[in-house]
Structure 1
Amino acid sequence: MAAFFTAFFVVCAMMVGTVVSDPDMLQDICVADLASGVKVNGFVCKANATADDFFSDILDVGFLTTANVLYSKTIKQGEIFTFPKGLVHFQKNNGNVPAAVIAAFNSQLPGTQSIAATLFAANPPVPNNVLTKAFMIGNKEVDKIKSRLAPKK
């Protein structure tokens, strides 16, 4: 009887890893059909996506590590940038025309990270124009928050 319970326990322990992962995506891409009259849980997908559906100009992208270090880059059409799982990140259109981004998230459990300290006390700092646009506040407010969250020396 003890052998049965031991075997049962081992099988159950091995199965735990199979149920704790994120589910697979249901589709690879979905280009929204903005002209469709059907709007259940958002827009429906276009029947045939084409290369013209994926356009971009110039994007400033970046992410912040858990040690508040900013890594950023300007990317152009056709380039790719990968954000590490669970970190605070941003994308800002730096061009003169609308830009489109393909984004995919690989986890529903991003972990925890102090957003205020991460964004306003990063080294090098997150550009003020990104923070003013993201939080809809002025440069004075951004500088005030940065001064209060600056690391003690």
Structure 2
Amino acid sequence: MKAVHFLVASVFLALASSLASASDPSPLQDFCVAINDTKNGGLNTLGVSLVRIDYAPYGQNAPHTHPRASEILFVQEGTLYVGFVTSNPDNKLFTKVLHKGDVFVFPIGLIHFQFNIGKTNAVAFAALSSQNPGVITIANAVFGSNPPINPDVLAKAFQLDQNVVKSLQAKFWWDNN
């Protein structure tokens, strides 16, 4: 009887550990040779992503999160105010002003942002630790959901008047995203 219990427990633990994996799936191939085709070339299957971000004066990359990747940002030109917020319970804000040549790391899954505080254009390159990092822009997700979240819920959550919530929801229709 003990052997049956042990066998059942072992099978259960094996199934539970196999279902708990939250990392990226293995790439479909070992490597990807870059080709001169922007739609089909790039870093796919290497487990990383790379993006160039151009900021107009006082432009921003609004608060967002990457649920499957950490991000490292390199400033090529300009001056950026960047930061991230830790998770509960303290929600501590970490910020820094970055200048040309500076680098900053945003931990996986944390809400972060970049804001061009300069009077000229800024350019940055971001590398993410996943070929599919995902992105959730906070304001779009909360105020631009389809169908909209009940204004009563958002008014209570953000301690806002319902009319303010409805106004914000009206500003986040799809073409604005």
TM-score, normalising length from structure 1?
0.43
Determine which structure has greater relative contact order: mean sequence separation of CA pairs < 8 Å that are 6+ residues apart, divided by chain length: 2
Greater fraction of residues in strand: 2
TM-score, normalising length from structure 2?
0.39
